[in-house]
């Protein structure tokens, strides 16, 4: 876990004022830069020491066999694993022949700063070599949002007290040695030497390398070029070899003189294009970057981020640490999705190899609700990626004996990569999550072309899946049996409430789309009977209810199961999945992550207010949050049922997941869904945003810990700004046509230039605050935590 003091609380940046080698792997994830296409972990410039070196290109993966002790029909045979591609971040420094390495000599000062507005990671160090030569080193690094193939570094060094011979060595390195992976199943299966050299060349200060992935046949190109600025007498040489390239600049510097090396790195990859095409592509990318120049790249980055923050910022008063964490989270969500451009948004973005670089339902259920209302372009492109994998999902459904499309539980390129079917194949809800993201996207943007094209395809094929997966019983009720819901500590259960409600929405949305677009319906072969069948199934969906307890079992039979022995479980035994067999988890009442509580958030209209209170009280003492995809949902529902301070603690957990390394696995990459969850907790929890069937409603109410909350939403060409204090909410239409919304259930008409102010009604009396399993209460931050 990272102590709070690892970073200073500042609203627009993340600053680490001293280097703690024990936290190197975590800070590499936290300081990772990415644009959704290219990702550089926050490794030190000189490459060593490192926790885990990482350079990723979205979609570049290796294949590995998925071995089974006992094989079964329909088990995926091949897994996809993200690979560490050519490292272009590295800049080594030699001071009078001694390598700058923070483990040797004396590190007088070391600071790193991630600036959310500039979009750069900067580093300042003062180091005295073992021979006593003092130097000041500074570097600024960026992965460009505007030129997605480009990353760049500005590296500067100056001797402090005495002259020194300085060599700055800039590298490209493929097949880097990686530290061994541990036994945690959530860690990537790391592959040794995943790249085979196809081409290398060095010329002046430029190096180009092209490799191919051995197993998946993808071609990866990387090139670097340099601008070297120094007083005089610099000697520059370059060389290349199959797995690397080096450009070295050497000179003797006097105190007060500075050597500045600007490094431009271009990347490209393809599964189709030839060696020369990929090589030329990275050259072209480099030319573009050179033409823009370092200052130009910085200016473009700032402009891109100014526009982003203008639309997406969430301001809070009263808690600098949470303010910082929320912006940190939004910055990483943007980094994960900004330029993914029809590729997946992996659970860790491009910040680490955790979960093998796979994308899960995390994207549609947690990340896209945020991007849809802040960077809709990025949401559309993530959904277009899903759409591009539709043929594979249709094939998979057929293999499973089902109609329509069965999207994978985890994947990079679209094929199912989960080797554990009870929590993979059986987690069919991912299909409804995709449909839900389509519905929200179309509703929030009014993007007709998407709706008519990919949107309708996705809704149709997922509806077909549900219709063939479920069945009507003798009374006509529609059941979906033997599926796994969001809670992975239960599996293969009948009528999971979340799944059933989401499937029913999916079925209705598909039938509506068929009505809206008869041309497409004909093309997709949807006849009247099929769409009527969808509506029938949706109408007749079975939602189990436990009359004796007055609560919804998350799936049939759940509330009858034996309770987990929480009192006999020690804090060290969490996460339970690493200490207990699934067989035991499955047959007891213990919840890994919000499931029924998530249903109450996203399908709120299916529950009465009283049911929400009772259900929330019931599931709190059972929910252990062994997944980072839980706190934000619990925040939203805690706020809705009136436990605002508990909601605030859950917000803290979602927002600080990686800044505090709450799950002890930030080293493998940041938790993008949890970081998106900070926005969800604030906007959905304390703003009370619900977005359903074309209606946007708010029920704002702040916890003690916050004095003010302000956020903006993009809605069908409008920009709505919402500002909330303890006493009132102010709705301002910053752009666009008038808009009708609901404020605590009452209609408000918002016009441009006419802010609407409404009082916050008194909160209904809430019962006692429910407790969590022993040791699993969300972190309650003390007084000192909140200050800046």
Min dist. Cβ of residue 578 to ligand BGC (A) = 11
Which residues lie across from 223 on neighbouring strands? 208, 266
Q: Where on the chain is the footprint of ligand BGC (CB under 6 A)?
A: 347, 355, 360-362, 486, 488, 592-593, 627, 629, 673
Min dist. Cβ of residue 335 to ligand BGC (A) = 17
Q: Which helix (H) or strand (E) holds 210?
A: strand 206-213
Min dist. Cβ of residue 313 to ligand BGC (A) = 26
Whether residue 222 contacts residue 173, with contact meaning beta carbons closer than 8 Å, is answered with no
Whether residue 729 contacts residue 758, with contact meaning beta carbons closer than 8 Å, is answered with yes
Q: What is the dihedral of CA 676, 678, 679, 685, to 10 degrees?
A: 130
In terms of C-beta density within 10 A (0-12 exposed, 13-18 middle, 19 or more buried), how is residue 635 classed? buried
Question: Which position among 341, 488, 620, 723 bears the catalytic label?
Answer: 488
Number of H helices, E strands in the chain: 20, 33
User: Between residues 467 and 592, which has the closer beta carbon with respect to ligand BGC?
Assistant: 592
User: Between residues 245 and 357, which has the closer beta carbon with respect to ligand BGC?
Assistant: 357
Min dist. Cβ of residue 627 to ligand BGC (A) = 4
Is 488 in the active site?
A: yes
Q: Helix-strand-coil percent breakdown of the chain, rounded to 5?
A: 35, 25, 40
Round to whole Å and give the CA distance between 594 and 627.
Answer: 9
User: Between residues 348 and 403, which has the closer beta carbon with respect to ligand BGC?
Assistant: 348
Using Cβ positions, the residue closest to ligand BGC within the complex turns out to be 360
Min dist. Cβ of residue 487 to ligand BGC (A) = 8
Coil vs helix vs strand at 180: coil
Whether residue 254 contacts residue 159, with contact meaning beta carbons closer than 8 Å, is answered with yes
Residue 714 tokens read as: 């993009």
Round to whole Å and give the CA distance between 80 and 477.
Answer: 39
β-strand pairing of 235-241 with 219-229: unpaired
Q: Which helix (H) or strand (E) holds 456?
A: helix 456-469
Q: Which helix (H) or strand (E) holds 150?
A: strand 150-159
Residue 602 tokens read as: 């996203």
Which residues lie across from 170 on neighbouring strands? 91, 247
Min dist. Cβ of residue 488 to ligand BGC (A) = 4
CA angle 209, 211, 214 (to 5 degrees): 165
Whether residue 630 contacts residue 662, with contact meaning beta carbons closer than 8 Å, is answered with no
Round to whole Å and give the CA distance between 689 and 602.
Answer: 11
Whether residue 630 contacts residue 594, with contact meaning beta carbons closer than 8 Å, is answered with yes
Min dist. Cβ of residue 660 to ligand BGC (A) = 18
Min dist. Cβ of residue 354 to ligand BGC (A) = 8
Round to whole Å and give the CA distance between 390 and 387.
Answer: 5
Residues assigned a catalytic role: 488
């Amino acid at each position: 876990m990272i102590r709070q003091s690892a970073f200073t609380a500042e609203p627009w940046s993340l600053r680490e004022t001293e280097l703690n080698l024990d936290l190197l792997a975590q800070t590499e994830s936290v300081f990772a830069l990415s644009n959704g296409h290219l990702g550089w972990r926050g490794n030190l410039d000189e490459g060593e020491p490192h926790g885990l070196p990482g350079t990723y290109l979205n979609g570049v993966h290796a294949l590995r066999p998925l071995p089974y002790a006992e094989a079964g029909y329909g088990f995926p045979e091949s897994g996809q694993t993200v690979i560490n591609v050519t490292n272009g971040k590295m800049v080594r420094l030699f001071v009078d022949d001694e390598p700058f390495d923070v483990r040797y000599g004396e590190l007088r000062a070391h600071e790193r700063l991630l600036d959310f507005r500039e979009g750069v990671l900067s580093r300042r160090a003062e180091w005295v070599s073992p021979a006593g030569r003092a130097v000041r080193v500074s570097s600024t690094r960026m992965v460009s949002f505007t030129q997605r193939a480009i990353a760049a570094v500005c590296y500067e060094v100056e001797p402090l007290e005495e002259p020194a011979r300085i060599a700055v060595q800039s590298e490209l390195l493929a097949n880097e040695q990686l530290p061994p992976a541990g036994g945690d199943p959530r860690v990537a299966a790391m592959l040794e030497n995943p790249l085979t050299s196809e081409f290398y060349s060095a010329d002046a200060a430029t190096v180009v390398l092209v490799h191919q992935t051995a197993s998946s046949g993808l071609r990866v190109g990387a090139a670097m070029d340099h601008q070297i600025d120094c007083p005089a007498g610099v000697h520059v040489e370059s060389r290349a070899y199959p797995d690397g390239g080096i450009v070295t600049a050497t000179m003797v510097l006097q105190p007060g003189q500075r050597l500045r090396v600007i490094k431009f790195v271009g990347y490209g990859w393809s599964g189709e294009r030839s060696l020369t095409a990929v090589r030329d592509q990275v050259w072209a990318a480099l030319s573009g970057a050179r033409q823009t120049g370092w200052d130009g790249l910085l200016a473009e980055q700032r402009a891109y981020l100014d526009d982003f923050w203008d639309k997406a910022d969430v301001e809070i008063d009263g808690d600098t640490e949470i303010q910082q964490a929320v912006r940190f989270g939004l910055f990483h969500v943007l980094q994960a999705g900004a330029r993914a451009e029809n590729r997946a948004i992996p659970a860790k973005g491009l910040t680490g190899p955790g979960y093998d670089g796979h994308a899960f339902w995390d994207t549609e259920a947690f990340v896209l609700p945020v991007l849809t209302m802040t960077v809709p372009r990025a949401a559309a492109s993530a959904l277009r990626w899903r759409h591009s994998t539709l043929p594979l999902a249709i094939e998979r459904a057929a293999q499973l004996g089902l109609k329509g499309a069965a999207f994978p539980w985890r994947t990079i390129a679209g094929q199912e990569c989960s080797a554990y079917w009870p929590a993979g194949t059986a987690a069919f809800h991912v299909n409804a999550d995709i449909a839900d993201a389509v519905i929200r996207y179309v509703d929030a943007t009014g993007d007709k072309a998407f709706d008519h094209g990919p949107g309708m395809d996705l809704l149709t094929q997922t509806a077909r899946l549900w219709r063939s997966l479920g069945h009507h019983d003798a009374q006509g009720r529609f059941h979906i049996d033997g599926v796994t819901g969001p809670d992975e500590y239960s599996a293969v259960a009948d009528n999971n409430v979340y799944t059933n409600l989401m499937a029913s929405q999916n079925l209705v949305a598909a039938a509506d789309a068929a009505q809206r677009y008869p041309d497409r319906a004909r093309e997709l072969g949807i006849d009247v009977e099929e769409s009527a069948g969808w509506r029938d199934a949706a109408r007749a969906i079975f939602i189990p209810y436990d009359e004796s307890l007055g609560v919804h079992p998350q799936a049939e039979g759940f509330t009858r199961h034996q309770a987990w022995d929480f009192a006999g479980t020690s804090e060290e035994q969490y996460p339970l999945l690493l200490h207990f067999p699934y067989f035991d988890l499955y047959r007891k009442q213990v919840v890994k992550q919000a499931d029924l509580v998530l249903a109450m958030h996203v399908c709120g209209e299916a529950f009465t207010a009283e049911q929400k209170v009772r259900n929330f009280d019931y599931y709190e003492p059972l929910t252990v949050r062994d997944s980072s995809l839980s706190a934000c949902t619990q925040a939203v529902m805690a706020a809705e049922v009136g436990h605002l301070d508990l909601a605030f603690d859950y917000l803290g957990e979602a927002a600080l997941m990686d800044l505090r390394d709450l799950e002890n696995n930030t080293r493998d990459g940041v938790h993008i869904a949890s970081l998106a969850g900070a926005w969800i907790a604030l906007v959905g929890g304390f703003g009370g945003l619900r977005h359903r069937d074309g209606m946007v409603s708010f029920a704002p109410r702040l916890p003690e810990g916050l004095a003010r909350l302000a956020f903006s939403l993009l809605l069908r060409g409008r920009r709505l700004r919402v500002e909330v204090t303890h006493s009132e909410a102010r709705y301002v239409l910053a752009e666009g046509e008038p808009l009708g919304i609901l404020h605590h259930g009452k209609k408000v008409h918002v016009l441009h230039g006419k802010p609407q102010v409404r009082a916050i009604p008194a909160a209904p009396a809430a019962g006692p605050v429910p407790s969590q399993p022993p040791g699993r209460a969300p972190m309650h931050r003390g007084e000192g935590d909140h200050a800046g």
